[in-house]
Protein backbone atom coordinates (compact mmCIF):
# COMPACT_ATOMS: atom_id res chain seq x y z
CA UNK A 1 0.00 0.00 0.00
CA UNK A 2 2.86 2.35 0.78
CA UNK A 3 4.33 1.72 -2.68
CA UNK A 4 1.05 2.72 -4.34
CA UNK A 5 0.82 5.87 -2.19
CA UNK A 6 4.43 6.74 -3.05
CA UNK A 7 3.79 6.14 -6.74
CA UNK A 8 0.67 8.33 -6.67
CA UNK A 9 2.64 11.05 -4.87
CA UNK A 10 5.47 10.93 -7.44
CA UNK A 11 2.96 11.06 -10.31
CA UNK A 12 1.21 14.01 -8.67
CA UNK A 13 4.51 15.90 -8.38
CA UNK A 14 5.36 15.13 -12.02
CA UNK A 15 1.90 16.31 -13.13
CA UNK A 16 2.32 19.49 -11.09
CA UNK A 17 5.71 20.19 -12.70
CA UNK A 18 4.27 19.63 -16.19
CA UNK A 19 1.34 21.95 -15.47
CA UNK A 20 3.61 24.70 -14.10
CA UNK A 21 5.90 24.41 -17.14
CA UNK A 22 2.92 24.57 -19.51
CA UNK A 23 1.53 27.63 -17.72
CA UNK A 24 4.91 29.37 -17.86
CA UNK A 25 5.23 28.60 -21.56
CA UNK A 26 1.75 29.94 -22.24
CA UNK A 27 2.49 33.13 -20.30
CA UNK A 28 5.71 33.63 -22.27
CA UNK A 29 3.90 33.15 -25.59
CA UNK A 30 1.17 35.61 -24.57
CA UNK A 31 3.74 38.20 -23.56
CA UNK A 32 5.57 37.77 -26.88
CA UNK A 33 2.28 38.14 -28.75
CA UNK A 34 1.45 41.34 -26.86
CA UNK A 35 4.92 42.76 -27.56
CA UNK A 36 4.63 41.89 -31.24
CA UNK A 37 1.17 43.47 -31.44
CA UNK A 38 2.46 46.62 -29.72
CA UNK A 39 5.36 47.02 -32.18
CA UNK A 40 5.00 49.95 -34.58
CA UNK A 41 6.78 51.02 -37.75
CA UNK A 42 8.97 54.13 -37.42
CA UNK A 43 11.38 56.08 -39.55
CA UNK A 44 14.97 55.58 -38.34
CA UNK A 45 18.29 56.98 -39.47
CA UNK A 46 21.84 56.34 -38.40
CA UNK A 47 25.45 56.57 -39.56
CA UNK A 48 27.21 53.45 -40.83
CA UNK A 49 30.77 53.52 -42.21
CA UNK A 50 30.71 57.18 -43.35
CA UNK A 51 27.23 56.78 -44.79
CA UNK A 52 23.80 57.90 -43.67
CA UNK A 53 21.19 55.15 -43.63
CA UNK A 54 17.48 55.96 -43.59
CA UNK A 55 15.17 53.07 -42.81
CA UNK A 56 11.65 52.16 -41.83
CA UNK A 57 11.78 49.81 -38.84
CA UNK A 58 9.33 47.76 -36.82
CA UNK A 59 10.16 48.74 -33.23
CA UNK A 60 8.81 47.19 -30.04
CA UNK A 61 7.87 49.46 -27.10
CA UNK A 62 11.17 48.58 -25.37
CA UNK A 63 13.11 49.90 -28.39
CA UNK A 64 14.11 46.54 -29.87
CA UNK A 65 14.09 46.57 -33.67
CA UNK A 66 12.20 43.55 -34.98
CA UNK A 67 12.49 44.23 -38.70
CA UNK A 68 14.10 46.96 -40.78
CA UNK A 69 14.00 48.00 -44.45
CA UNK A 70 16.54 50.42 -45.93
CA UNK A 71 14.92 53.31 -47.80
CA UNK A 72 18.18 55.02 -48.84
CA UNK A 73 21.88 54.93 -48.10
CA UNK A 74 24.23 57.73 -49.15
CA UNK A 75 27.65 59.12 -48.32
CA UNK A 76 27.90 61.60 -45.45
CA UNK A 77 29.83 63.95 -47.76
CA UNK A 78 27.29 63.78 -50.61
CA UNK A 79 26.77 67.20 -52.18
CA UNK A 80 23.00 66.64 -52.12
CA UNK A 81 22.96 65.12 -48.63
CA UNK A 82 20.18 67.32 -47.25
CA UNK A 83 17.86 66.82 -50.22
CA UNK A 84 18.44 63.05 -50.22
CA UNK A 85 17.97 62.85 -46.46
CA UNK A 86 14.70 64.79 -46.50
CA UNK A 87 13.34 62.75 -49.44
CA UNK A 88 14.32 59.45 -47.80
CA UNK A 89 12.87 60.56 -44.47
CA UNK A 90 9.58 61.50 -46.11
CA UNK A 91 9.45 58.15 -47.94
CA UNK A 92 10.19 56.24 -44.71
CA UNK A 93 7.49 58.15 -42.81
CA UNK A 94 4.94 57.41 -45.55
CA UNK A 95 5.85 53.72 -45.53
CA UNK A 96 5.58 53.62 -41.72
CA UNK A 97 2.16 55.25 -41.84
CA UNK A 98 0.83 52.72 -44.35
CA UNK A 99 2.45 49.74 -42.62
CA UNK A 100 1.00 50.80 -39.26
CA UNK A 101 -2.48 50.92 -40.82
CA UNK A 102 -2.30 47.12 -41.08
CA UNK A 103 -1.15 46.64 -37.47
CA UNK A 104 -3.70 45.52 -34.85
CA UNK A 105 -5.26 48.18 -32.66
CA UNK A 106 -3.59 48.22 -29.22
CA UNK A 107 -5.84 50.73 -27.46
CA UNK A 108 -7.65 49.61 -24.32
Angle at 28 between CA 24 and CA 32, to 5 degrees: 170
Residue 5's pLDDT is 81
Predicted confidence pLDDT, tens digits, the chain (108 residues): 788 888 888 888 888 888 888 888 877 776 666 666 689 999 999 999 999 999 999 999 889 999 999 999 999 999 999 999 999 999 999 999 999 998 766 554
Q: Are 86 and 71 in contact (CB under 8 A)?
A: no
How does DSSP assign 32-82, residue by residue?
A: HHHHHHH-EEEEEEEE-SSEEEEEEEEE-TTS-EEEEEEEEEEETT-TTHH
Residue ranges covered by each domain of the chain: 1-38, 39-101
Amino acid sequence: MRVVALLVGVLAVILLIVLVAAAAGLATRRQATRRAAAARWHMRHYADQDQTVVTVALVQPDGQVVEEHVVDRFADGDAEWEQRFLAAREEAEQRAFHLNADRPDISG
